[in-house]
Structure 1
Amino acid sequence: MKGHTVLLCHLLLGVQYVMCSDHELYEYLNMTEPANRQLYEFKLHHKKPIGILTTGAGQLVEIRETVTLNSDAFSNQYFINLLTHNNAERIPERNVHAKGGGAYGYFEVTHDVSEYIKSDVFNGIGKKTPIVSRFSPVTPNLGGSDLVREHRGMAVKFFTKEGNLDLVCISFPVFFHKDPIDFPSFVHSRKRNPKTNLMDFSMHWDFVTKRPVTMHAQLWLLSDFGIPNGYRKMNAFAVHTFEVYNKFGKRYFVRFNFRTNQGIENLSTEQAEEIQARDPDYFNRDLYNAIEKKHFPSWTLEMDVLLLEDVTKLDYDPFDITRLWKKGTYKTVPIGCLTLVQNPDNFFKDVELSAYDPGHLVPGIIGGVDDLFRARRFAYRDTQVYRLGVNHNRIEVNNPLYRKVYNRDGVPPVRENMKDAPNYYPNSFNGPVPYVDPNRPKDKFVIYSSNAVDLQPAADFYNKILQCEDQRERLVNNTVTLLLPVSPKLQRRVIRLFSLTDENLGKKVETGLKKALHMHPHPPIIHTLKFIVHDKHAI
């Protein structure tokens, strides 16, 4: 570089122009985190303006059209184009998982799993498949905080030769309920009160006590695992038990799990609270900066495997997504490694427009056999149609490697819209035809779910998954904090449920609540929240 470079330093009360030397700019670019220097790096890669300014229709913009004062503004097509586009540039945000980040990468097969699953994407050691992944907390709106206490999403789209495969995972190995009819109420109880438009812990605890099946996942939420130290340092679980088959048509049941290779780290309530005060985008910033620094985050994909004959001998329901499989009843098989290597060039195009659907499967994977998975097949597609339009799978970030369909038209993008091919099936004119999978099992596997509430998995989590009294104590403290604002009657209901789960746990929550109420007779404002490192093999 030659001469001086002008840096624009935006201050609260205006814009100050600061002259700095080449050396100072060099230091800025080499010492500042990647997210903050993005604009300067763009300029370094583009020595001159990247082109002539145009309207959306490609009309060249003359410099006098960039000002409207004392002119006929409504004859200025550039001005009209800017203003009207600005009015329409928002799309509906996701009802849940609205705020998130994402990245591109690849999945590499490291182990031979052909004995269990015939899917091409998981077979052939060394095979690499491009992926795009999105990470997100559940309840915050687009401008919310990354540091809330809750489970988080990690959705992965594999662009395979057999179609897109979406594994839509969460940071807990269990979910809150198994009846799909509970999902809208579950979401509403964790979102905003329709009167106050504020988060309301009375709604939260009322739903938990009315649906005790949520207790197991609720304890995960209240424990150290409720706030991971960024997306890179958490595991992710597809939760459902998937029916899969191999090239000989033999059926297996598996649970897919992503294990972080960065090591599990969690934040205490106090630490998350401190970070949130200065950087509510901490998770997204951490992911972006790590990739830009070439500290590429990775996860090992494993599957826990049960044989069909094993299922009939178990003393628990392996299809119940509110409980873990019991150790010693299954085997764990590593599949490969997922690595993120590239940040999106444009967040809206690559993250906000991304659409994941657990019903997007490939040959070899039939899918989850429980009722909630079946409901998600419908619900995820329906929400993407509402949010992005019926052609959301033709948007670039979702576009499969190969597609031949009879669907036509609708809100763009339509791409080639299948050109002049027949638009109905069956037909006699050589439109696309289905294939026959000779390996797919011919008989259908059906399960029936129990309505009984089993609190034993929750008790096992408290007594076995949590490894020391410090972890249990933090769970109790987090519970007490969230109980302070609710009514005494609801507090008693919560303590009763905790006591039914584990008598000692109930007593600790009751004692902690009495102490907190004595210290804070008026419920304090609830903030959502030491690095806590966990053994990656513990869960």
Structure 2
Amino acid sequence: MLKMRLVLSYIFVYFVVQDVTGYRYCNETFPDAASEQLPDFRRRHPRPVGVLTKVTGEPLDLRDTVTLNTEIFDNRNHFRLTSHLNRERIPERVVHSKGIGSFGYFEVTHDVSRYTKADAFNGIGKRTPLMARFSTSRENAGGAEPIRDIKAIAVKMYTKEGNLDFITFHIPVFTYKDPIDFSPNVRAFRRNPRTRLFDNTMRWDFTTLNPVILHANLWVMSDYGIPDGYRKTNYFPLHTYEIYNKHGEIFYVKFSYRSELGVYNLTNAQAMAIRAEDRDYYARDLYNAIAAKKYPSWRVEMDILRKDEITKVNYDPFDMTRLWVRGTYKTVPVGRIVINRHVDNHFKDTEHAAFSPDNLVPGISGPRDNVFRARKLFYPDTQNYRLGVNHDNINVNSPLYVKTYSRDGVPPVLDNMRDAPNYQPNSFNGPMPFVDEARPKVLPIVFHRNAIDLQPIAEFYNEIVESDAHRQRIAENVANGLVSVRGDVEKKALRLLTLVDVDLGRRVRSALQRLRLESPEKRLRQRAQCFADPEPDYHDDLYE
């Protein structure tokens, strides 16, 4: 009987995998440069690159590379190797653990000097080097990329005026507007502390008690929820930034990165098929595209409100959980981001990369909302924990020019400012601050409403989602997440969805009823169905 069950299980898995792997994904359009990395190294270095040494630089004798039939505790090389292995990992990022890094540049294509004095944004044709880290939000470092989740790109521009960081989502709305919600938000959407599984009951319980998150979640449940790789989607820094020009005039802007390849998305079946073959599909696609010199690029734009307009619009322009209303702002092109170079070493560059929304430059005062005010404190705090207090001295984070009174601490300390005075102010010609004459002298204070506003969510469902077929797919994706949820949490979720839109609540309820009438095996087979070479789902823009 046991053998019969094993045979039936094997047959079921075989046919499901056959259905899943019938979809051939787009990585085949490029030579697989990722698989050629080691042979390529050997071609570039036909001889060994040098004599092997211990970490102290002492040449390593061949006899010290083995411990068999020797006095093992006399082998210093063995102790150094193993003790280093025990310590070679650093704390995993709390969110966006799964990621890949690359280098590139930002190029100015339009004159925006009337809006900002930021040096990197002025001078058509000017190029500023940058580092970018692409990631998926809620997966652990070893998780899969082609899943229904928020994707992101964090960009660090090495400008002449300091590092300028932008941290983005691939959807244009954020998950919360009260910074105290960050911690429960992360925990509710990660793993159950006992089962160690992603738990839909946790997710929906938190969502019904904090409905502001529903807007972002519906974007993720829509056709935009699974991009076809990091290259083929837009990205949004989300905050409303205050910028100023050389005359001290203030403007409020939302930046956006528009993919010059267009926006392509995967269906559930396509994503499931790809995951069966390649959990690292996004990273492999990006690596191979750069190797083939098909450099990913994004058009950088600013949506702009003047200072006198900011108090006249009939919505909160600083609320990251909603979109600006069409027709109330104008859009200005700025430049383009091009990614054209791999990192040399993932751990050295990508894992050591430290980003903070508060890394700004003259001409960009930064956002004024409470989420930013919290992030400017806690991003450096997490980097101090993960990488150490001198994380800005790590090569990938180091600005082009730095003179500081910060000293000592866990390495790297670089030149530690040598023999310059270590206090400020001083009378002995240590580095001196400058005065930005154009910097705004008024500090606005932003107050947000505490009431939950479902209107932006309804507008997404009825206006941005343009077809009934798309609305039905959203409902089915939501129902797939609710099918394992029971009791009062399910009732609260259906009520919340109905309050957003009666049609949405009806569609989810119907889809949920159908799912519960089907066996788990039948649901899995249906989700695994896909054609051999389906046309990619293309959208010109997420929204205009």
Q: What TM-score do you get using the length of structure 1 for normalisation?
A: 0.92
| 1:142-181, Cα deviation, whole Å (9 max, x unpaired) | 1111122111121000000000000011111111110000
| 2: CA distance, partners of 1:327 / 1:89 | 50
Between stretches 511-520 and 183-192, larger displacement belongs to 511-520
Instruction: Name 2:35's counterpart in structure 1.
Output: 36
Contact kept? 2:30, 2:292, Cα under 8 Å: no
Q: 1:385 to 1:358 in 2, by over 3 A?
A: same
| 1:24-69, Cα deviation, whole Å (9 max, x unpaired) | xxxxxx9951000110000000011000000111010111211111
| 1: CA distance, partners of 2:30 / 2:358 | 45
Instruction: Name 1:159's counterpart in structure 2.
Output: 158
Q: What code does the residue aligned with 1:161 have?
A: K
Q: For residue 40 of structure 1, give the secondary structure of its aligned residue in structure 2.
A: helix
Q: What code does the residue aligned with 1:453 have?
A: I
Q: For residue 309 of structure 2, give the secondary structure of its aligned residue in structure 1.
A: helix
- Counterparts of residues 33-432 of structure 1 (less than 5 Å): 33-432=32-431
| 1: CA distance, partners of 2:438 / 2:418 | 33
Matching residue within 527, 531, 538 for 1:533? 538
Shift of the alpha carbon at 1:522? 10
| 1: CA distance, partners of 2:538 / 2:302 | 24
Structure 2, unaligned stretches of length 5 or more?
Answer: 1-28, 529-533
Contact kept? 1:147, 1:528, Cα under 8 Å: no
Instruction: Name 1:488's counterpart in structure 2.
Output: 487
| 1: CA distance, partners of 2:186 / 2:226 | 19
Shift of the alpha carbon at 1:523? 11
Contact kept? 1:484, 1:524, Cα under 8 Å: no
Q: 1:497 to 1:348 in 2, by over 3 A?
A: same
| 2: CA distance, partners of 1:407 / 1:526 | 59
Instruction: Name 1:22's counterpart in structure 2.
Output: none
| 2: CA distance, partners of 1:80 / 1:512 | 60
| 1:494-539, Cα deviation, whole Å (9 max, x unpaired) | 1111111011111111111111112248997899995321122635
Q: What code does the residue aligned with 2:48 have?
A: P
Q: What code does the residue aligned with 2:423 have?
A: Y
Q: What code does the residue aligned with 1:430 have?
A: N
Instruction: Name 1:16's counterpart in structure 2.
Output: none
Contact kept? 2:31, 2:292, Cα under 8 Å: no
Contact kept? 1:273, 1:527, Cα under 8 Å: no
Contact kept? 2:269, 2:527, Cα under 8 Å: no
Q: What TM-score do you get using the length of structure 2 for normalisation?
A: 0.91
Instruction: Name 2:20's counterpart in structure 1.
Output: none
Contact kept? 1:243, 1:367, Cα under 8 Å: yes
| 2: CA distance, partners of 1:468 / 1:51 | 62
The root-mean-square deviation of aligned C-alpha atoms, in Å, is 1.8
Higher relative contact order (CA 8 A, sep 6+): 2
Instruction: Name 1:12's counterpart in structure 2.
Output: none
Contact kept? 2:30, 2:289, Cα under 8 Å: no
Q: 1:32 to 1:221 in 2, by over 3 A?
A: closer
| 1: CA distance, partners of 2:230 / 2:439 | 36
| 2: CA distance, partners of 1:523 / 1:428 | 79
Query: Identity percentage over the alignment?
Result: 50
| 2: CA distance, partners of 1:372 / 1:263 | 30
Contact kept? 1:482, 1:526, Cα under 8 Å: no
* Count of paired positions: 510
Instruction: Name 1:27's counterpart in structure 2.
Output: none
Q: What code does the residue aligned with 2:475 have?
A: V
Q: 1:443 to 1:202 in 2, by over 3 A?
A: same
Shift of the alpha carbon at 1:73? 2.3
Instruction: Name 1:8's counterpart in structure 2.
Output: none
Q: For residue 396 of structure 2, give the secondary structure of its aligned residue in structure 1.
A: helix
Instruction: Name 2:508's counterpart in structure 1.
Output: 509
Between stretches 529-538 and 496-505, larger displacement belongs to 529-538
Contact kept? 1:189, 1:204, Cα under 8 Å: yes
Shift of the alpha carbon at 1:460? 0.8
